[in-house]
Amino acid sequence: MASSERNKKILLDMVKQPSNDHCADCGAPDPDWASYRLGVFVCVNCSGTHRDLPDISRIKSIHLDFWDDSLVEFMKTKGNAASNAFFEKCVPAYYYRPQQHDCVILKDQWIRAKYERREFTGEKQFLQQVYSADLYEGILWKKGKDNKQFLKRRFVLSKTDFTLRYFTKGDKPKAVISMKNIDVVFQPEKIDHAHGLQISYLEEERTRNLFVYHDKSLEIVSCTTFLGVLVPLITRSNIKEGYMEKTGPTQWEPFKKRWFILNLSDRKLSYFKTSVDALELGAVFIGTEAHGYSVRECQPKQARGGRWKFGVTLDTPGRQFVFLCDQEEDQREWIEALKEVMAQPMLLQHYNTEANMRRMKK
């Protein structure tokens, strides 16, 4: 067997081994690239960041590129388990480890933190000190409430009183936001910036959104990491969002296009005029089937002449809601997402939320 064929077979056998059969950085299955300087197997997406670190990592395809004997021997001495045991030795419990489907910025900064800055090897503990401080302060570009203009604002995160504040000028905060009901998710497409971040929170039982970004990816990820110290799993509450059309309570009112967000943690289906509105127009509480909530597909009569034809009927104890989707796939995804929420048992805070929303509508 020729050397190149033998080496390729060795690599293909290695990548099938436990720990090597998933990307060393994001956990994606069946990685087909490898860093022959670090000795790790990675997916095609993470390989892009490795290519941007030529002094630290060098990438080859295990299927297409030529591997000489010395590189294969090096890979045999390393592998994902051994490499991560060193580079992830001291990852703090609060530090979010990106997964396969997370946005590029999270994975990019995770890889740079691991290999470029070597934050988790135990050699540079001072790099983690910022997250143990009582305050985190920084400047972010924030979208105006009533326009599309982004302006620089000072943001302060406090462990002492568990709040997020932002300032327009002076020392008096424009808003003081309790971290108790906050939700944070990267939204590069929605905000039209690679480092775009959406911060959602409840104010008098209504959802408000802040849209911010920073020109440097490290700064915006550091901000979310500090948030992660205060609020674990901050990026996981919104399970579905997108446009649907909505009619009124009699179902004879014209359908209007609205941006909907379904949140699993507070069981709310909130709707906004556009995807980047600061304040919700309204919301629907989603209970369980045992409490009179259900969802199904439908074909509303008044939708037959319109472009959006794929209906969703949501039944609640107080009212029936009818929505229209542009595509059949959207209809299916919304129904599945709503059923997912209905399948989760209600907690005490959910009963309180349901009661408060009913009082607000009276």
Examine the domain organization and report whether 185 and 276 are in the same domain.
Answer: no
* CATH number reported for the structural domain that contains residue 61 in this entry: 1.10.220.150
pLDDT of residue 1: 47
Examine the domain organization and report whether 109 and 143 are in the same domain.
Answer: no
pTM of the predicted structure, to 2 decimals? 0.74
Examine the domain organization and report whether 169 and 243 are in the same domain.
Answer: no
Burial of 80 (0-12, 13-18, 19+ CB in 10 A): buried
- The DSSP call for residue 226 is H
Q: How sure is the predictor about 150, in pLDDT bands with cuts at 50, 70 and 90?
A: very high
Examine the domain organization and report whether 214 and 289 are in the same domain.
Answer: no
Query: How many of the other CB atoms lie within 10 Å of CB of 240?
Result: 18
pLDDT of residue 228: 64
Residue 277 lies in a domain: yes
pLDDT of residue 123: 81
Segments forming the whole domain that contains residue 345: 238-360
Examine the domain organization and report whether 184 and 251 are in the same domain.
Answer: no
Residue 122 lies in a domain: no
Domain count, the chain: 3
Examine the domain organization and report whether 287 and 196 are in the same domain.
Answer: no
Residue 85 lies in a domain: yes
Q: How sure is the predictor about 233, in pLDDT bands with cuts at 50, 70 and 90?
A: very low
pLDDT of 6 > 70? The answer is yes
Residue 125 lies in a domain: no
**Do 314 and 321 touch, CB atoms closer than 8 A?**
yes
Residue 121 lies in a domain: no
* CATH number reported for the structural domain that contains residue 285 in this entry: 2.30.29.30
Q: How sure is the predictor about 148, in pLDDT bands with cuts at 50, 70 and 90?
A: confident
pLDDT of residue 248: 85
Residue 35 lies in a domain: yes
Burial of 64 (0-12, 13-18, 19+ CB in 10 A): exposed
Examine the domain organization and report whether 112 and 137 are in the same domain.
Answer: no
For 85, phi then psi, to 5°, come to -60, -30
